[in-house]
Amino acid sequence: MQNKGLIKFFAIIFALVSIYQLSFTFASSKITNDAKSFADGNPEKEARYLDSIGKETVFNLGFADFTFDEVKEKQINKGLDLEGGINVILQISVKDILKGLSNNSKNPVFNKSLADATANLQGNQNYIDAFFEAFEANSKGTVKLASPDIFANRSLQGEGGVDYQMTDAQVQKVIKRKVDESVESAFGVLRKRIDKFGVTQPNIQKLGESGQILVELPGAKDVDRIKKLLQSTAQLEFWETYKIDEMGGFLVAANESLKKTEINTVEAKPIVKDSLSALLTDGKDSTASKKGNNPLFDKIIAQGGGPVLGLFSPKDTAIVNGYLKRSDIRVLLPAEQRYAKFVWGKLTTIEDAKSKEIEAVELYALKGNRDDVPAMGGGVVTDAKDSFDQMGKPAVSMQMDGQGAKAWEELTGRAYIQKSNIAIVLDNIVYSAPGVSTGPISGGRSEISGSFDVTETKDLANVLRAGKLPASADIIQSEVVGPSLGQEAIDNGTTSAIVGLLLVSLWMMVYYGKAGWYANIALAINLLFLFGVLASLGAVLTLPGIAGIVLTMGTAVDANIIIYERAKEELREGKTLEEAVKASYSWTGAMRSIVDANVTHILTGAVLFIFGSGPIKGFATTLLIGIITSLFTSIFIARIFIDWSLKKNSNLSFVTGFSKNFFTNFHFDFLGIKKWTYLFSAVVVIVSIVSLATNKLDQGVDFVGGRTFQVRFEKAVEAEVVKAELVKVFGSAEAKIFGNDNQLKITTKYKVEEHGIEADQEVNKLMFESLKNHFEAGLTYKQFVNAYEGKQYGILQASKVGPTVAEDIKTNAYWAVLGAMAIVFLYLMISFRKWQYSLGAIAAVAHDVIFVLGIYSLCYKFMPFGMEIDQHFIAAILTVIGYSMNDTVIVFDRVREFLDGKTKGTFSEIVNKSINSTMSRTINTSATMILVLLIMFIFGGESIRGFIFAMLIGIVVGTYSSLFIATPVLVDTISREDKKLIEKQHQES
């Protein structure tokens, strides 16, 4: 081997760099474990401990010192499925941005186009492109985007803006730039909020030009708090309010009017003796005040006063909103109150008549106007911090700029004179509505107080400091993983990796003897390089990523197997050991096959990386890195040891007493039984297609949208019983045993299209109320929902995928599979220079994909593990495509070699001999792969069992198809004239 010294040099440098990079992971792990021991299960105490040592030197390598923050940056990051935490994709509302850019245009074509774009959005299509298409269709050239009442308004005019003379194409470029600027602004605001939140190693990134932002918060545990923090637009406003005595007449009139339409549908409740009931009955009991007769007043659960019109149950807010928005009700408002805005306050807790704590929200009436603008906007706030009010309760103090201070002084002065209140409204929720009792407030200082805890005031101050989002941010996809589940994943992944490594190493030693030892050393070095590269790139290690690493161990020895099998052939032909080794490592020996096989594998891995997301991208990353490092170690590192052994005359061997006669006299007529294999495969394909058409597939929420919860109970539960309980509250739900019989995977589409924090909280609370009878008494809502160290029961993992995202994922999946097949088809046609080779390979791959889909369609209803079609399944299919191509290419390379060589016989006999000569490699590689996948299937954990099963079936079928489908198709598509020409050449040679 030439340049052996240079290869040794690079290998040593690479190994040292890998050890250096990995040292930070070990150091960080030790420090984190120390923090856990110190905190004794208290996550807040653990976070404070780690924050306190962030700037301290904690790691000394002799030549450099590193702080804990620096160590964290250089370690291998664990994904949420290993670390626990929250992962969300936020969709910045491009619709809201467009409305803002148009100055809330009332143009009917503009607004219809916004609505049409929302309704007709296609998979992977950006909203802004859908809007432009809808506008063109609706306007038909009669209305321009540059109309003064759309985008050529005062705020967009000027340099770089929109001029009324512009064409629609010119305006589109400007608007796209403005939307990008708004999304960038939102990205900056969210980063500021997250940086102040306190989780370690947060990750935030924009996803293309879709207006979507990915946020990962490893270790975060308070689900509702984080979602609220991310989705708050921080639209701070100050409004003057009406008092209850000013609105009393309207409310009485509204209640009377509602009796005409609602009296038969309201639920009966005891009337509350508050100021509104006094207005209604003058304090006397009458027919009008009896329970069930007052559609609006019967909803009141506690007395209001001042600016509070009354307190209502959270579940009744939608009904009351509907009442107050009705045109026949709003017409009852006096002329001076016709622009009144009815807004709810912050959720609070009160005691009912039985001293039981219940949730309630206050109703306010704000003094609106024709333009629906507040008396004062929140953009004047320059700083905010959590503090305590005069009563010692948590509050948020704010400082305004000069302009804001002047406006605040005028507003508070007017409130003081009129003895009115000022509502402090954030994201359309009234946080407090204080009166002004000491005269105008100068200096621009104000305070938000109310029923807060310290955490809430910290988050509120954080949001206000970071600034407002330019548009609403909706969580369209989310995943929550508890740390306990993450630790289980680590344990399962580690076990499968160790067992897989030991078995593969043992097989290589038993089958190849001393050469097998060298392959194992190369495999160990390969793992060192692989982890070193992952650490250097700052890659995130996920559970599918661990699966990719374990899979790499199975494929890493493939190149060694090809080389060793070639060396054995050369030895059987009478060459010396040195000559056999040299020939096996040559391009005409094993190298051509290795390159072709791995290029096809890399191409499918690249497609997986491009179209995948989250954990799937992690799987693709480890797979691609593993292929490259495996090639280096198998070809160069193992060769160094083999050459060293030859030089020392240490009896190098490629066989053992156990394996020396394996496949040496193997002669099977593969083409002779092709009619039977065609028939078998045709039956399988037909049955699979029929099943796919009738039985269909169990599509996961990735593909259809929905909410999924992994819930663990203290005792075994019956899935059908739980399903029946959930259907009563959600309308539709699925519940399946997931692993053990005390664990369920629950899926529902309830309010999946509603993205606000309120909808998520409602689903969580309904889930808790429905399932709490299956838990021991004392389990609280927070214990059921939130993640924490040592959590054993309740929601261990939750995910949500909106319909739009599901459509995008499905579209990406189709393109990934078709793209992988198309790319490999082109590569093989270029490499083999005959389209018949590409056709044979694609026929085998299509057969394998249909076979696996058919198995999943036929078996998903009764298998004891999940067989959902989701992103993980697509990753498995692409891996199967890569392996099937890999195996087929090895066979095709040998077929090409024999057809170009001097082997005697008919065309079919030559092809049969070439296939038989690859059997040792085919069986060995398939056996190691199947062995590794079986270990992962047994020990890898429930969450990836379906993923591994797809690959396991795919490897078995892929091995079969490369021998019994790909090669016969190749032979049958080569013309009779070409076959006769080849036979003639071989007879003459």
Task: Name the band, by pLDDT with cuts 50, 70 and 90, for residue 330.
Answer: very high
pLDDT tens, 830-840?
877 888 888 88
Whether 190 and 90 have beta carbons less than 8 Å apart is answered as yes
Region 932-954: what's the mean pLDDT? 81
Neighbouring-strand partners of residue 141: none
> What's residue 680's pLDDT?
93
- Alpha carbons 706 and 80: distance in angstroms, whole number: 20
Q: Choose between 673 and 813: higher pLDDT.
A: 673
Given a contact cutoff of 8 angstroms between Cβ atoms, the answer to whether 107 and 149 are in contact is yes
pLDDT given at position 243:
92
Least confident segment among 255-269, 398-412, 686-700: 255-269
pLDDT in tens, 80-107: 667 777 777 788 888 888 888 888 888 9
Instruction: Judge whether residue 801 has pLDDT over 80.
Output: no
Query: Is the pTM for the entire model greater than 0.85?
Result: no
Residue 278 has pLDDT above 70, yes or no: no
Q: Are 400 and 445 in contact (CB under 8 A)?
A: yes
Burial class of residue 250, CB neighbours in 10 A (0-12, 13-18, 19+): buried
CB 925 within 8 A of CB 560: no
For position 678, what pLDDT does the model report?
92
Name, of 569-583, 776-790, 867-881, 930-944, the range with top average pLDDT. 569-583
78-82, 137-141, 310-314, 891-895: segment of lowest average pLDDT: 78-82
> What's the chain's average pLDDT?
81
Q: Is the dihedral of CA 294, 300, 301, 306 positive or negative?
A: negative
Instruction: Say what the pLDDT of residue 309 is.
Output: 92
pLDDT band at 637 (very low <50, low <70, confident <90, very high): confident
Distance of CA 869 to the CA centre of its chain: 15
Q: Is the pLDDT of residue 236 over 50?
A: yes
Is the per-residue pLDDT at 749 higher than 80?
Answer: yes
* Band of residue 815 on the pLDDT scale cut at 50, 70, 90: confident
Alpha-carbon distances of 840 from 348, 949, 967, 972, rounded to whole Å: 68, 25, 6, 9
941 near 543, Cβ under 8 Å?
Answer: yes
pLDDT score at 271 = 41
Give me the percent of the chain exceeding a pLDDT of 90: 8
Task: Tell me how far apart the alpha carbons of residues 739 and 743 are, in angstroms, rounded to a whole number.
Answer: 7
Helix or strand or coil: residue 129? helix
Of residues 940 and 396, the one with the higher pLDDT is 396
Specify which residues 377 forms β-bridges with: 237
Instruction: Of 171-175, 250-254, 273-277, 816-820, give the range with the top mean pLDDT.
Output: 250-254
Q: Which residues pair with 312 in a beta bridge?
A: 300, 361
Write down the pLDDT at residue 267: 46
Residue 272 clears pLDDT 50, i.e. is over it:
no
Q: Measured in Å, how far apart are the chain's first and last C-alpha atoms? A: 32
Q: Among 238-252, 547-561, 582-596, 911-925, whose mean pLDDT is lowest? A: 547-561
Summarize the confidence of residues 291-303 as an average pLDDT: 83
> Mean pLDDT over residues 224-253, rounded?
85
Would you report the helix, strand and coil content of the chain in percent, each value rounded to 5?
60, 15, 25
**pLDDT cut 70: percent of the chain above it:** 90
pLDDT at residue 682, as a whole number: 93
Exposure b/e, 842-877, CB count within 10 A at least 16 = b: bbbbbbbbbbbbbbbbbebeeeeebbbbbbbbbbbb
Q: What is the pLDDT of residue 985?
A: 78
Lowest mean pLDDT across 269-278, 439-448, 680-689: 269-278
Phi, then psi, of 734 in degrees rounded to 5 = -125, 140
Q: Does 465 score more than 80 pLDDT?
A: no
pLDDT of residue 718: 86
Q: Is the pLDDT of residue 784 over 80?
A: yes
Predicted local confidence at residue 128, as pLDDT:
87
Determine which of 152-156, 166-170, 278-282, 507-511 has the lowest per-residue pLDDT on average: 278-282
Point out which residues pair with 357 in neighbouring strands. Answer: 351
